[in-house]
Structure 1
Amino acid sequence: MKKNLTINDIAKEAGVAKSTVSRYLNNGYVKEDTKEKIKKVIEENNYEPNAFARLKAKNSHIIGVIAPCLDSTVTSMVLMALDQSLKDAGYTSLILNANHSIDEELKDLERLSKMNVDGIIINATQVSKQHLQIVKQIDVPVIFLAQRCDDGISIVNEDYLAGYKAGEVTALTNHKDVVCISVDEEDVAIGVDRLEGILKGLKDNHVNNIEVVRSDFGNVKSYRVLDDVLSKRKPDMIICSTTRQLLAAYKCIRDHGYKIPEDISVIAFGGYDVVDLLEPLPTTIQFNPKELGIKAANTLLSIINKEEVERLQCIPFIFLEGASIIKR
């Protein structure tokens, strides 16, 4: 039995083109006598095509998905909804993890473009000129998820309006000394749009004592950043931009001997499956990760089917009042 048989090997033994073997493996049109030749070679060698063999076909029915990470609750919810929607439509998702690296995102875009996938969904850290240059060279449709792309098709959360709501709630509960923990500005959706909304909501309601500190999406650095703040002074409100920042804030506040919300109030974006485990129940602003994933899948499938789609689609937020804010 031949080991490590490839499509190229099958083509040579059957005396046909490599593309013909690809069409055969993907149930495309192949003449009957040619089918028999290919079938004979495959059976004699016990060849079993894997998913990557199918990537050589004209229509692979595989969608490339670039994720920012695989250890985030929100990302997981997006990917699961996206993957299920694609499966329901007869497609398979090929998920690549960029691990919050812009360089990896760019490499993944190039990798997927060479695999002949039917489309690409990228949950980008940012939309850079390099992203756009690669996308223009790719022959398949590309959708940006969670980051706005003015030159392409994107599905985003209403980050600015959600940020404004957080600032407004903070101000209307009479908080005057606010620390907002954000992320790097390279993440435009959270580090720029969401933050600008927060600051605008605060300042429109006459809160001007605001300190912005930068962290990442993890709880270790977030704890360290907040620990530095609380070692110097006690604000009356901390606004967290992510779920892990929320977890870090709860621990850090208590480690400094303060109570929530009596000493320091907390409002956060996210929470999702962890909020019910925290005491007091956090006040949060949440989006709908499942809707984001479903919209991404359905929009890309519509493009593949040559249907018109909206170039910018927004996912609304909901405000969930907990017990982590007290009116001063």
Structure 2
Amino acid sequence: MGAGTTVHAGLPRPSCAAAGVGAEGGRKMTIAEIARRAGVSKAAVSRYLNNGYVSSEKREAIRRVIEETGYVPSQQAQTLRTGKSHMIGVIVPRIDSESISRVVAGISRVLEEQGYRLLLANTDNRIEKELEYLEVFRSGNVDGVILVATMLSAAHRKALTALGVPAVLVGQQMDVMSCVFHDDRGAARAVTELLLQNGRRRVGYIGVTPRDKAAGAGRRAGYQDALHAAGEEPRPEWMEQSDFSIDGGYAAAERLLARVPDVEGIFCATDSIAIGAKKRLEEQGRHIPDDVALAGIGHSRMSELVRPRLATAHYYYQTSGEEAAHDLLEIIGQGVDRKKQLMLGFEVCPGESI
């Protein structure tokens, strides 16, 4: 398993070979044997394996023996020598989410470049599983943790504070640690303004739970900001709540349309919710955008495939993963968490649904 490899938690079993394995019939080899074959000391081999100073002649001799034998240092032995596993735990709410996969791709790219491996833990959007994995990584053999978060609680704050290894948060903001997050309120306001600027005054909203401070509370606040700025008062009956799924968006749109049949536009907290709402609108014979304008957030691949193309806001998900990984490795290297708070921008994609 090479650098940048993604494996799933629980934690891997430690290797039984304390020194390493070679290609010669699968026989275990030791640093002492590498040293003997290369005609150098064991200390020189150890320095070579840990990127310490070795003369060019000795370095070439050691390299040649390692290449000939296929020697691979044992991860367990390296951890014992350096105190580092070069393993990073990454906790995600869903592995079947396009946005999460883009975040993980960014994390993986940076870790691979720096010789780290990624240990992926999927929580299926269950808070108790997030806390469980934080405990696993607190007692497990990882150098750091990246949590791609949705809903944060006092229990999360306590667990993250007691983690014992560096950690970075993605997608949410917490003052006790470094975080990389999106301008959810700003993006929601900009997309809602796009609806209003196109002459839609009665604009509904389908969001997610406000317990999610970013996608829930932040995007709802942005929607309300836009309405207030346009002289419109957000009405409770214009607002509906869904989960993050297409089916949830469909059901929420049905409830919203039953209360506000003359709605002129709908802003949805995610593209998936918007696509569910689109299906229900079309079943009712409403034409998009002629009868009802529609918009989401996320700029998913599906938003480009549906017709009319969905108006949305593009988030830099892969960049958020890259920045989080860079921040974590910096904390590991320096031994200090400066508690950076990095908010990434967005880009409005007008599409064809407004």
Classify the TM-score, shorter chain.
0.7 to 0.9
Q: What is aligned with 1:315?
A: 344
Q: CA deviation at 1:167?
A: 2.5
Is the 8 Å Cα contact of residues 55 and 115 (structure 1) preserved in structure 2?
no
SS in 1 for 2:296: strand
Whole-Å separation in 1 of the counterparts to 2:277 and 2:77: 48
Q: CA deviation at 1:288?
A: 0.8
Alignment equivalent of 2:325, drawn from 281, 288, 297: 297
Is the 8 Å Cα contact of residues 170 and 202 (structure 1) preserved in structure 2?
no
SS in 2 for 1:314: strand
Per-residue CA deviations over 1:49-99 (Å, capped at 9, x if unaligned) read 997998777200000000010111111111112112111110001010111
TM superposition score normalised by structure 2: 0.75
Q: Are 2:283 and 1:283 aligned? A: no
Query: What CA RMSD, in Å, does the superposition of the two structures yield over aligned residues?
Result: 2.6
SS in 2 for 1:59: coil
What are structure 1's unaligned runs of at least 5 residues? 1-5, 12-23, 25-30, 36-47
Whole-Å separation in 1 of the counterparts to 2:319 and 2:101: 13
Is the 8 Å Cα contact of residues 270 and 298 (structure 2) preserved in structure 1?
yes
Alignment equivalent of 2:204, drawn from 158, 172, 179: 179
SS in 1 for 2:91: strand
SS in 2 for 1:174: coil
Distance 1:279 1:107, change over 3 A: same
Q: CA deviation at 1:309?
A: 5.0
Alignment equivalent of 1:159, drawn from 175, 184, 205: 184
Whole-Å separation in 1 of the counterparts to 2:286 and 2:164: 56
Is the 8 Å Cα contact of residues 127 and 148 (structure 1) preserved in structure 2?
no
Q: What is aligned with 2:193?
A: 168
Q: CA deviation at 1:111?
A: 0.8
Question: Following superposition of structure 1 onto structure 2, how do residues 89-238 of structure 1 map, counting pairs within 5 Å?
Answer: 89-208=114-233, 210=235, 211-232=238-259, 233-238=261-266
TM superposition score normalised by structure 1: 0.81
State the one-letter code of the partner of 2:328.
L
Whole-Å separation in 2 of the counterparts to 1:289 and 1:7: 33
Alignment equivalent of 2:287, drawn from 259, 265, 283: 259
Q: CA deviation at 1:108?
A: 0.9
Is the 8 Å Cα contact of residues 168 and 177 (structure 2) preserved in structure 1?
yes
Q: CA deviation at 1:160?
A: 1.2
Question: Following superposition of structure 1 onto structure 2, how do residues 34-45 of structure 1 map, counting pairs within 5 Å?
Answer: none
Is the 8 Å Cα contact of residues 299 and 309 (structure 1) preserved in structure 2?
no
Q: What is aligned with 1:240?
A: 268
State the one-letter code of the partner of 2:126.
S
Is the 8 Å Cα contact of residues 184 and 215 (structure 1) preserved in structure 2?
yes
Q: CA deviation at 1:144?
A: 0.8
SS in 2 for 1:251: helix
Per-residue CA deviations over 1:264-298 (Å, capped at 9, x if unaligned) read 00011013211221111111111111111110111
Whole-Å separation in 1 of the counterparts to 2:286 and 2:79: 57
Distance 1:126 1:220, change over 3 A: same
Whole-Å separation in 2 of the counterparts to 1:320 and 1:8: 50
Q: What is aligned with 1:16?
A: none
SS in 1 for 2:287: coil
Per-residue CA deviations over 1:6-43 (Å, capped at 9, x if unaligned) read 869778xxxxxxxxxxxx8xxxxxx959x9xxxxxxxx
Q: What is aligned with 1:80?
A: 105
State the one-letter code of the partner of 2:256.
V
Per-residue CA deviations over 1:184-223 (Å, capped at 9, x if unaligned) read 1111101101210111111111122541111111111221
Whole-Å separation in 2 of the counterparts to 1:8 and 1:167: 55
Distance 1:230 1:54, change over 3 A: farther
